[in-house]
Amino acid sequence: MTNQGRVVVVTGASAGIGRAVAREFAGTGDRVALIARGRAGVDAAASDVTRRGGTPLAVHADVTDFDQVDAAATRVEDEFGPIDVWVNAAFATVFANFEDIEADEFRRATEVSYLGFVHGTMAALHRMKPRNRGTIVQVGSALGMRSVPLQSAYCGAKHAVNGFTESLRTELMHDHSDVHVTVVQMPGVNTPQFSWVRSRLPRHPRPVAPVYQPEIAARAVRYAADHPRHKQYWVGASTVATILGQRVMPALLDRYLARTGVSSQQTDDRTGHRDGNLFTPLDDEPGADHGAHGEFDAQSLAVSPAWWLRSHARALVVTGAAAAGMAGVAAARR
């Protein structure tokens, strides 16, 4: 790493987890390239990076278009130098029963939330592989391991991200490459998506509790970038419980989610249908920045004991071993 820090690219950097990730890397002095559609959002994210001590580069691009993504990567390397870390975080979706989703809506959600990750990974890998170094971090979800009702498009895309990333990982291992790819599986996070998502629900969509603040997700992404040899990371006790539950009793979870999954993803507010940001960004005009947080601050957790334990596991093992050794020496003396 140079004195200027790493070169980090974040897609979906205009809001939500991507915005928080950009701030997190900026806090360590990195040069952060921000890729997103919404001009007001990505420009505000660039200001955040500057305030946090990083160097920003705002790039307006649609991740569904590989040529735009590849051109963005070229611009980043022309201005910042070789890319060290690429974070795929962009997504768009529609909240609705599957039978209420139009074919073009499902296609668009898949193109952003799955093919957007493929395009970002391709652009990064084309540059990292010849240099034999670099890290790609996929922002995944517990819903990519265990699907829920009302989110067929999103869950399908996140499952697909896991599948193609696993295949790529084994190819890199076969080639003995020092390019690494890892996935960070997220819990419900308080982001603006629930205010600007396309919805055909009768009530306002919400994340499934417990809800975590995006800064927890961002810290996990940076940790994964620093420790990329691990296949995937599970963030939050709810993610751990969801994934383990799916492995042990998937049929029971089907019945449980059939009873509770629809109501638990809606508030009591009746908002009706809305177009959302599926095809057009809602943070493109001046003053339209939405930031990293959504509207559920009062219900969201700022800490995750489960993630703290996971991210400090090595230090805890070393400390425990040292304590046991000291206890053994003391016992021997006695």
- Name the residues annotated as catalytic: 154
Angle at 140 between CA 100 and CA 274, to 5 degrees: 30
Q: Are 290 and 282 spatial neighbours (Cβ–Cβ below 8 Å)?
A: yes
Query: Hey, how many other C-beta atoms are within 10 angstroms of the C-beta on 323?
Result: 10
Q: Are 117 and 138 spatial neighbours (Cβ–Cβ below 8 Å)?
A: yes
Q: Give CA–CA dist 33/57, Å, rounded.
A: 5
Q: Give CA–CA dist 82/77, Å, rounded.
A: 5
Backbone angles phi and psi of 137, in degrees to 5: -115, 125
Strands 211-212 and 7-11, sheet pairing = unpaired
Give the residue from 184, 201, 325 showing the smallest Cα distance to 273: 201
Q: Give CA–CA dist 233/291, Å, rounded.
A: 25
Q: Please, how many CA atoms are within 13 Å of residue 190, restricted to the half-sphere of its CB?
A: 18
Give the residue from 119, 123, 68, 128 showing the smallest Cα distance to 91: 119
Q: Please, how many CA atoms are within 13 Å of residue 264, restricted to the half-sphere of its CB?
A: 14
Q: Give CA–CA dist 3/272, Å, rounded.
A: 51
Q: Is the peptide bond before 210 cis (omega within 30 degrees of 0)?
A: yes
CA 164 to chain centre: 16
Q: Return the SS3 of 234.
A: strand
